[in-house]
Structure 1
Amino acid sequence: MALLALAGSTSPAHADATVKDGKVGLIVKGKELSVNRAGGWMDGHGTGVRARLYTVHNGVRNDITKWKDATPVSAGMTKFSNVDWNLRGRTFRHGTWLCVEFNKTDGTPCAKIHR
């Protein structure tokens, strides 16, 4: 499963990145190995859309948040489902991949946290 997650779009970042994989996007805000906020979006609306964050380090996957309901957002003709987390400066090990997954689509974008 971890290899599939990394097969999608990935982006190196100093805990600060925007990555998109198909219909799913990930935004990470932080400094070096510390992440303050992370959020995700999925193109389109739907009922029961939920998302969670997970990490992959040395091939081991760990869920770091529980499933969270996404908020439907409309901006003109654009419709998407949005979710975000306040991670309050949570520190990750160098080389950890921070990823988001939604329950209604296959895209799993990841950003590499490094010094």
Structure 2
Amino acid sequence: MTAAAAFLFLACTTVPAHADARVTEGKVGLSVKGKGLSVKRAGGWMEGHGTGVRARLYTVYKGQRTDITRWKDATPVTAGMTKFSNVGWNLKGRSFWDGTWLCVQFNKADGAPCAKIHR
């Protein structure tokens, strides 16, 4: 295992994605929808409401991090007693290299769950 791969394994809660996954880390979650190496939609959520909550998607491939979206404002959602901030992206079938980690980051929460895109 390379140092970068070991770091990702320890730093992120990960799930093999097959471009279709749902993973949480602490108060943050990531949902990825797609097929094979192609991702159609990705979304993230964070427990709780707040002002100025924003999120972005990034990838890590062979130890290199690349932001793939800009910061996007999250929408506060209340479902019964549960409050969370939600954000989603239409990636329109964007393809990724086999072994790419797709991650979500919120500006108001620790945790950055990642899903591994693979064949």
Which category describes the TM-score, using the shorter chain as reference length?
over 0.9
Contact 1:5 1:108 in 2 (8 A): no
Deviations 1:27-60, CA, capped at 9 Å, x for gaps: 0000000000000000000000000000000000
Match of 2:15 in 1: 11
Counterpart selection for 2:106 from 102, 105, 112: 102
Deviations 1:7-38, CA, capped at 9 Å, x for gaps: 12100021000000000000000000000000
Distance 2:25 2:83 in 1: 17
Contact 1:15 1:30 in 2 (8 A): yes
Match of 2:65 in 1: 61
Aligned length: 114
- Residue 48 of structure 2 corresponds to residue 44 of structure 1: yes
1:4 deviation in Å?
6.0
* Identity %, equivalent residues: 77
Return 65-74 or 5-14, whichever deviates more: 5-14
Distance 1:87 1:5 in 2: 25
Distance 1:20 1:70 in 2: 17
Match of 1:32 in 2: 36
Distance 1:15 1:4 in 2: 18
Structure 1 unpaired stretches of 5+: none
Distance 2:12 2:104 in 1: 11
Q: Secondary structure at the match of 1:111?
A: strand
Compute the RMSD of aligned alpha carbons: 1.3
Structure 1 residue runs of 4 or more that deviate by more than 6 Å after TM superposition: none
